[in-house]
């Protein structure tokens, strides 16, 4: 080999080293999006992907504000076995001629977005090549996350806890039918498929009622009873708690033994694989919370939300002694709790909503003895459906929000046609978060003549005017959210 060849070889080796270094420097993140049903996951993820690929008004998202994002595009996802998050369909729903909210999350799904950007130092010196963030986003029902609590409870403990909870003042009327059926069952009697199916159906009906708008409870495991995903109609969900004696074993061939076996199989074949295969691989997580719904439903819903937040934090707990580490070790280093639908409030209350959630999360952090990941809180609207105005009432100028209620929504004896705009005084959140939490208090003056609560009229998504084929969605604080979740990977 002559000197020229050697130099050439050396150049190639140096280049491949540089390429390898650039490759290892290119960040990859796996972001989880979760929250209980109707919290706003589908809308949030659609808006987030749209902001990355189409841009928007995003001053607090620094890489974008500094002009360092060269572009972002969808790419084939890495996991063939997980359904794709159909962002195009959802976006069409939001922005089409007959604009409407997209279909909600009912199972796990995934999407890969590749973001080309210039690092801050490269951008300043104009020397470094462009870099690439590979972002894998996983959307999954928050109900599944709350199943973590089941892994530390055997069938007897779970039955006892579930029965006890169903005695609470809000839950008891919802649970009455299931409890009446339960009272007819003898756990030691012979196993009976019909009884098991009926118990499971009545128990499930109770859990579903607990998610109703006026009740808005959060902690109602097992999660698949509410969000079955692929298990809809499967025998894996044909079990329910039983009223068991404090001691003793299930007799062979009894209803008790049958329910216990199915509960164990749910834990082993449904709950554990989810945590091992999906949850444990996440680097970042956003937990969406419909805090306004809980505040509006009253103190029991708020207390229940706090328990749910504690359970969520327990799942992300980093402590080395956690018994969970034998099953999986969570590696999430940034965890964001987001109160959604802030566009139902005037901007003067956005900070207050954030303060309320901060207080709730703070208490949950203490309860769960959580430490490790950086935790932040935001009040946001992924898609802002309202604008602000002032309305004169007597001598007062009232801050109002203006939007188009969905067709068929009712208030004040009026049925809306889905076209006409209305102005709503949304009521103020209390300045002191403690007042809001103790009184369950979000009770403004916005109750209509027929007693209907017009603050909770559902608005249609905003009417948009795409410019040159680009659709940017209005939002509240989505840019801050992006900065917290992705900002450090785009430096």
Binding to ligand GDP by residue 459, rule CB under 6 A?
yes
Binding to ligand GDP by residue 119, rule CB under 6 A?
no
What values do phi and psi take at 332, rounded to 5? -60, 125
Q: Which of 385, 400, 457, 490 binds ligand GDP (CB under 6 A)?
A: 385
Q: Which of 26, 37, 57, 372 binds ligand GDP (CB under 6 A)?
A: 37
Provide DSSP, 203-221.
HHHHHHHHTSTTT------
Binding to ligand GDP by residue 263, rule CB under 6 A?
no
**Rounded to an integer, what distance in angstroms lies between the CA atom of residue 282 and that of residue 395?**
54
Contact 292, 344 (CB under 8 A): yes
Contact 335, 252 (CB under 8 A): no
Binding to ligand GDP by residue 43, rule CB under 6 A?
yes
Binding to ligand GDP by residue 382, rule CB under 6 A?
yes
Binding to ligand GDP by residue 174, rule CB under 6 A?
no
Is residue 249 packed enough to be buried (19+ CB in 10 Å), middle (13-18) or exposed (0-12)?
exposed
Provide DSSP, 34-100.
EESTTSSHHHHHHHHHHHHHH--S-TTSHHHHTT-EEEEEEE--S-TTSPBP-HHHHHHHHHSTT--
In the complex with ligand GDP, the residue whose CB is nearer, 270 or 339, is: 339
Binding to ligand GDP by residue 481, rule CB under 6 A?
no
Q: Which of 27, 32, 35, 405 binds ligand GDP (CB under 6 A)?
A: 35
Binding to ligand GDP by residue 42, rule CB under 6 A?
yes
Scanning residues 3 to 32, which ones bind ligand GDP (CB under 6 A)?
A: none
> CB 312: neighbour CB atoms within 10 A?
25
Q: Which of 39, 244, 404, 457 binds ligand GDP (CB under 6 A)?
A: 39
What values do phi and psi take at 163, rounded to 5? -65, -45
In the complex with ligand GDP, the residue whose CB is nearer, 140 or 370, is: 140
Binding to ligand GDP by residue 40, rule CB under 6 A?
yes
Provide DSSP, 317-361.
---TT-GGGGT------EEEEEE--GGGS-GGGHHHHHHHHHHHH
Binding to ligand GDP by residue 105, rule CB under 6 A?
yes
Binding to ligand GDP by residue 134, rule CB under 6 A?
no
Q: Which of 41, 224, 267, 278 binds ligand GDP (CB under 6 A)?
A: 41
Q: Are strands 109-117 and 131-139 parallel, antiparallel or unpaired?
A: antiparallel
Q: Which of 61, 64, 85, 101 binds ligand GDP (CB under 6 A)?
A: 101
**Rounded to an integer, what distance in angstroms lies between the CA atom of residue 153 and that of residue 148?**
10
| Shortest spacing between CB 411 and ligand GDP, in angstroms | 16
Binding to ligand GDP by residue 473, rule CB under 6 A?
no
In the complex with ligand GDP, the residue whose CB is nearer, 77 or 340, is: 340
Binding site for ligand GDP (CB under 6 A): 35, 37-43, 101, 104-105, 340-341, 343, 381-383, 385, 458-459
């Amino acid at each position: 080999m002559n000197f020229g060849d050697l130099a050439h070889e050396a150049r190639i080796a140096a280049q491949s080293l540089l390429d390898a270094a650039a490759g290892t420097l290119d960040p990859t993140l796996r972001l989880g999006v979760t929250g209980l049903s109707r919290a706003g996951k589908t809308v949030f993820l659609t808006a987030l992907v749209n902001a990355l690929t189409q841009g928007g008004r995003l001053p607090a998202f620094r890489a974008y504000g500094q002009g360092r994002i060269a572009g972002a595009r969808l790419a084939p996802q890495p996991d063939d076995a997980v359904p794709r998050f159909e962002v195009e369909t959802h976006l069409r729903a939001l922005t089409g001629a007959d604009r409407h909210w997209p279909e909600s999350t009912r199972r796990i799904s995934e999407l890969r977005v590749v973001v080309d950007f210039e690092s801050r130092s490269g951008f300043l010196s104009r020397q470094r090549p462009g870099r690439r963030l590979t972002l894998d986003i996983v959307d999954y029902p928050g109900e599944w996350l709350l199943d973590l609590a089941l892994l530390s409870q055997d069938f007897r403990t779970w039955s006892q806890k579930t029965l006890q909870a169903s005695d609470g003042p809000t839950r008891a009327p919802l649970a009455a039918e299931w409890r009446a059926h339960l009272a007819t069952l003898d756990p030691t009697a012979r196993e009976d498929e019909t009884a098991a199916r009926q118990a499971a159906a009545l128990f499930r009906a109770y859990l579903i009622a607990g998610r109703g708008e006026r009740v808005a409870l959060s902690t109602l495991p097992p999660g698949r009873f509410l969000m079955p995903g692929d298990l809809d109609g499967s025998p894996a969900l044909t079990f329910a708690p039983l009223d068991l004696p404090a001691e003793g074993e299930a007799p062979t061939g009894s209803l008790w033994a049958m329910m216990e076996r199915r509960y164990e199989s749910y834990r082993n074949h449904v709950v554990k694989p989810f945590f091992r295969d999906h949850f444990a691989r996440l680097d970042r997580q956003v937990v969406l919370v419909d805090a306004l719904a809980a505040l509006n439903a009253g103190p029991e819903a708020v207390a229940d939300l706090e328990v749910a937040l504690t359970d969520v934090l327990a799942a992300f707990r980093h402590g080395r002694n956690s018994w969970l580490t034998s099953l999986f070790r969570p590696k999430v280093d940034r965890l964001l709790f987001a109160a959604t639908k802030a566009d139902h409030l005037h901007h003067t209350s956005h900070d207050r909503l954030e303060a309320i959630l901060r207080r709730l999360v703070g208490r949950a952090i203490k309860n769960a003895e959580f430490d490790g990941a950086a935790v932040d809180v935001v009040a946001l609207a992924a898609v802002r459906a309202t604008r602000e105005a002032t309305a004169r009432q007597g001598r007062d100028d009232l801050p109002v929000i203006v939007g188009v209620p969905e067709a068929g929504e009712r208030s004040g004896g009026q049925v809306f046609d889905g076209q006409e705009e209305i102005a709503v005084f949304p009521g103020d959140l209390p300045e002191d978060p403690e007042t809001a939490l103790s009184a369950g208090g979000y009770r403004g003056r916005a109750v209509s003549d027929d007693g209907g609560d017009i603050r909770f009229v559902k608005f249609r998504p905003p009417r948009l005017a795409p410019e040159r084929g680009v659709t940017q969605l209005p939002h509240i604080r989505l840019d801050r959210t992006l900065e917290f979740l992705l900002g450090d990977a785009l430096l």
